[in-house]
Amino acid sequence: MDIHHRSLTARETTLLELVAGGLTNRQIARRLQISEKTVKNHLSAIFPKIGATARTQAAVYAIGQTTAVAEAPERPSRPATEENLTPREWSVLDLVAHGLTNRQIARRLEISEKTVKNHLSAIFPKIGATHRTQAAVYAVGRARGRGAALGGSPVPSMGQ
């Protein structure tokens, strides 16, 4: 993955690429041989530079800056299809890929936050994700393969 952003340092660019790959702070720290606190400090510096307010938005931004989608550390053993995700799960996954929080998703879909969490709990094993950033990376990758975001609207690039 090759991210170009004039205000990011080389270390920040590397870190952002790893976030887009779906790695956790602990995994990034181990890979770069730095502390988890240093990873958090870098993320705190990166977010305002790219216009992101959350990790998922940063991952979506990073993917939008590249021509190739990052390989998530864990790929699904069977890819998600319309048959194994419900229409509501696709809606939730689409909004996760757009960087919305559970509360924002609940408001948008007029459901409770608990229901959003339940949907995410059902989605993660179906797509081989262990957390929402991996789910967002998966969703953006599928959207790129189909030429549009899951919900038919392009996934926004933050900070552009």
* pLDDT at 149 exceeding the cut of 50: no
Q: What is the mean predicted confidence (pLDDT) over 63-70?
A: 56
Give the percent of the chain with pLDDT over 70.
74
Whole-number pLDDT of residue 2? 47
Q: How confident is the model at residue 120 (pLDDT cuts 50, 70, 90)?
A: very high
pLDDT tens readout for residues 76-117: 444 555 458 899 999 999 999 888 899 999 999 999 999 999
Residue 58 CB burial class (10 angstroms; 0-12, 13-18, ≥19): buried
Whole-number pLDDT of residue 82? 44
Kindly report whether the global pTM for this prediction surpasses the value 0.85: no
Percent composition of the chain: helix, strand, coil (DSSP 3-state, to 5): 60, 0, 40
Domains of the chain, earliest start first: 10-64 (1.10.10.10), 87-146 (1.10.10.10)
